[in-house]
Amino acid sequence: MENFYLILVVVLFALAISDLIVGVSNDAVNFLNSAIGSKAAPKWVIFLMASLGVLIGATFSSGMMEVARKGIFHPDMFMFSEIMIIFMAVMITDVILLDMFNTFGMPTSTTVSIVFELLGAAVAVSIVKIKATGGSVIMELSQYINSSKALAIIFGILLSVFVAFSVGAIVQYIARFIFTFKYRRNMKYFGSIYGGLAITAITYFILIKGMKGSSFAEFEMGSGETIQEWFKANSGLVLIYSLLFWVALIQLLQWVFKIKILKVVVLAGTFALAMAFAGNDLVNFIGVPLAGFNSFQAWVADGATNPDSFSMAMLAKEVPTNIYMLLIAGLVMIITLIMSKKAKAVIATSLDLSRQNAGEERFGSSFGARVMVRGATNFNKKLVRIMPNALSNGIQNRFAAHSYVDMDDPDAPAFDKIRASVNLVVASILIAIGTSLKLPLSTTYVTFMVAMGTSLSDRAWDRESAVYRISGVFAVIGGWFLTALIAFSVAGLVALVISLSGKFMIFVFVAVALFMVIRTHALHKKRKAIEDEDEEIVDEDAFEQIIEKSSKQMIKAVVSTNQIVLMGIENFLSEDRIGLLKVQEDSRAFSKKAKRNRDKVYSTLTKLTDGTLDTSHYYVQMMEHKREMAHAVHFMLEPMVVHVENNHKPFVEEQGLELKELISRSDTFHNYVLHAVREENFDELDTLIAERDNILEELHRLEKNQIKRIKRKEVNTRNSQLFFKIISEMEHLLLHTVNLVKSQRDFITYTRHPK
């Protein structure tokens, strides 16, 4: 039996490593968002500062480990075998849940997931235990669950959302009002004071408040005082000397080494936020395995007695965590931070919602967002009308848009360093306060909502983008609530199944978790490949690269439409439902790709500013014709899918023969088109047009044949509507395909040889 539980402990730590990897991939956005978004320094410098912060912050997290042991449930009410079921259910669920959110690039809360997983698993095991003794779940459940602490944690997490957004918005408004977007001139006079105050605030809350509960807080100094006691007694002096030191150092760096003040603040803030993250969130990844390890040690020390009768009351006591375990966890986090590709997807979501300039929006609009934007716009109009003009103009001038870089450059910073510094300072202070109070605040919620609050104050959400950004915030927050629901339900279900079916189910669920991680990794890799394929090419030789890229896009468009038409009609005629659904999936993918290409027209045209007006005109036409081709195949395929799905009568034999002949001619036509586009051979365009016209005549003949069948009452209404729809969309497809070739020809001609 001892070996069995030793294996479970090993599995717990294996899951902890996996959880660290997927967890850091999710939470890296919290402390990298501002530095990367503002491009404060080369990425290796940003990662170095973040890595140092994570490593040092890991040693501050010892006090937070108590949350996993006794923060959610009363450990003295559970036996060793039961507590291990709870911990295994939590870790299995956490790995699956976080990996899924990372795959789709949605920042979620590791804190919320671990809290609700502990709650769900503990409730499930408690119910099984109460029912086994014939007790009442309603009356006795409160004896097992630490409801007051759990509610305090949940309330603290939810409150942090509103506090973070409000504080971030207020501080950013004040900072922007003082420095404006033309901050470089003011920074010469007030920059060192601003930087000194910012870093001093970080120093106070991270070093003094965050000291409480750290692994070295109780180390004794030569005077007999502990480090924590000394800092507490001398906090005023530490603040004064810290302010003077940082003001002098920052000013010296500016005068002597010409180092920009805001870069220092952003890098210091990145270090501090990474430190706060590790101090607060490390419990989410290794708190449960460490609690399981401590439980196993206590059980073995007692003689490895019956695990069903060994009480876990020892978990209610404070158990110090070995520093080497914290440092190992910190090193795993650092390696993941540098290597993880999924972290980039999560960072991209946060940057898209907070960037200063407009562009392609990640999220669509929602009803709630439209109502909010409309209400805010009307309120602002009324406010401006009643405000004195001088005051209104003065505020407007302080917030006048300005950028020191070309914001049309796709590699431009998402926002400036003033906002980046506010993001980091406010978020790190709020998280450090939570850590000092041993409240596992969600670093994701805090940093994300601070970033959204500063975006609002910075007027990044203008009328062109506000509805999409707010919809995105709603989607992310909705995902947070979904996290809580899924975490509670899945962990509870896993714990319930293990409790009722036997402990061998643990290994079944571990296998499921492993399969899910591999599956989502493959899905992420596939999605990343599609994104890389659509990535804009930016180089000094933009014209030739745009020609090459557009030619590849046109070839793929022609191949896609031909395959969808060919396979779609063949599967329809053979009533192959599975094959038809696969073609429908390909059609949707092609439609999305065509939409993305069209949405990027603006950014592409900015690279063609040196070309003629005709160049840009023909490029726009190319993208529009490609989009219309996608529409044609979509509207042709959808009614065929509906027809087969609903088991309607198949086409008569004569219709089948006509459509097979049609797709054969269509295939030949598209091969001609491919040759023309691939070889840039447009001399035979007249031959291509003639072939198209012949097929159009054939389509008209097919329409007449269908009319004859209708008069002979050989077909019904549904059959006729679908047949005419196929003919109509095929006609649209042929017309837009030829127009695409013409536009491609003219685009290449006028780009290389402008008039």
C-alpha–C-alpha distance, residues 450 and 166, integer Å: 8
More confident residue, 200 or 405: 200
Confidence of residue 41 (pLDDT cuts 50, 70, 90): confident
pLDDT at 104: 67
Band of pLDDT at residue 746, cut at 50, 70 and 90: confident
CB count within 10 Å of CB 390 equals 8
pLDDT at 537 over 50: no
345 has pLDDT over 70: no
Residue 732: the pLDDT is 92
pLDDT at 443 over 80: no
Instruction: Give whichever of 81-95, 516-530, 547-561, 714-728 has the largest mean pLDDT.
Output: 714-728
Chain centre distance of CA 447: 14
The pLDDT value recorded for residue 318 is 63
How large is the average pLDDT for residues 406-430?
73
Least confident of 24-33, 189-198, 570-579: 24-33
Mean pLDDT of 35-52: 81
- 745 vs 544, more confident: 745
Predicted confidence (pLDDT) per residue in 157-197, tens digit: 778 788 888 888 888 888 888 888 887 777 777 778 888 88
What's the distance, CA 658 to chain centroid? Answer: 49
pLDDT at residue 733 in the model:
92
The pLDDT value given to residue 700: 92
**Amino acid 614: pLDDT:** 60
What is the model's pLDDT at position 435? 63
pLDDT of residue 212 exceeding 60:
no
What is d(CA 715, CA 700) in angstroms, rounded to the nearest whole number?
A: 18
Q: Which residue has the higher pLDDT, 431 or 655?
A: 655
434/64 Cα distance (integer angstroms) = 10
Q: How far apart are CA 562 and CA 414, in angstroms?
A: 40
Residue 727 pLDDT class (50, 70, 90 cuts): very high
Residue 754, token pair as written in the block? 């402008």
Could you give the CA distance from residue 9 to residue 1 in angstroms, rounded to a whole number? 13
Least confident range from 231-245, 609-623, 653-667: namely 609-623
pLDDT digits (tens, 9 = 90+) for 599-613: 777 666 666 555 455
- Predicted local confidence at residue 539, as pLDDT: 42
Q: DSSP of 660-675, one letter per residue? A: HHHHHHHHHHHHHHHH
Q: How far apart are CA 127 and CA 137, in angstroms?
A: 6
Query: Of the spans 504-513, 612-621, 689-698, which averages the highest pLDDT?
Result: 689-698
Alpha helices in 502-576 (DSSP H): 505-533, 542-573
pLDDT at 468 over 60: yes
For residue 722, give every residue at least 6 positions away whose Cβ sits within 8 Å of its Cβ, in sequence order, or none: 639, 640, 643
Contacts of 742 (CB under 8 A, 6+ apart): 685
Closest CA to 78 of 391, 368, 395, 292: 292
First CA to last CA across the chain, in angstroms? 86
Tell me the pLDDT tens digit for each residue of 632-641: 999 999 999 9
Least confident of 85-99, 558-572, 662-676, 699-713: 85-99
Least confident of 81-95, 143-157, 334-348, 453-467: 334-348
Indicate if the pLDDT at residue 536 is higher than 50: no
Q: What is the mean pLDDT of residues 107-125?
A: 81
Whole-number pLDDT of residue 701:
92
| Predicted structure pTM score | 0.66
Grade residue 107 by pLDDT with cuts at 50, 70 and 90: low
Confidence of residue 704 (pLDDT cuts 50, 70, 90): very high
- Of the CA atoms within 13 Å of residue 131, those in its CB half-sphere come to 9
Which pLDDT score, from 0 to 100, does residue 728 have? Answer: 92
* Residue 28 or 633, more confident: 633
Tell me, what's the pLDDT at 305? 80
- The SS3 call for residue 311 is strand
> Which residue from 577, 441, 101, 50 is spatially nearest to 274, judged by alpha carbons?
50
For residue 220, what are the β-bridge partners? 226
Report the pLDDT averaged over residues 345-357: 62
Residue 199 CA to its chain's centroid (Å)? 29
Please answer whether residues 435 and 280 qualify as being in contact, where contact means their C-beta atoms are separated by less than 8 angstroms: yes
| CA torsion through residues 633, 639, 645, 648, sign | negative
More confident residue, 370 or 650: 650
Among residues of the chain, what percentage have pLDDT more than 90? 8
- 567-588 mean pLDDT: 90
pLDDT at res. 184 = 77
Task: Return the pLDDT at 640.
Answer: 92
Distance CA 340, CA 346 (A): 11
pLDDT band at residue 436 using 50, 70 and 90 as cut-offs: low
Q: Which residue has the higher pLDDT, 423 or 438?
A: 423
Q: Which domains does the chain have, with CATH numbers?
A: 2-531 (no CATH), 534-752 (1.20.58.220)
Give the tens place of pLDDT for each residue, 231-281: 777 778 888 888 898 888 888 887 887 777 788 888 888 887 787 777 766
pLDDT of the residue at 363: 62
Q: Which pLDDT does position 541 carry in this prediction?
A: 44
Least confident of 30-39, 188-197, 564-573, 713-722: 30-39
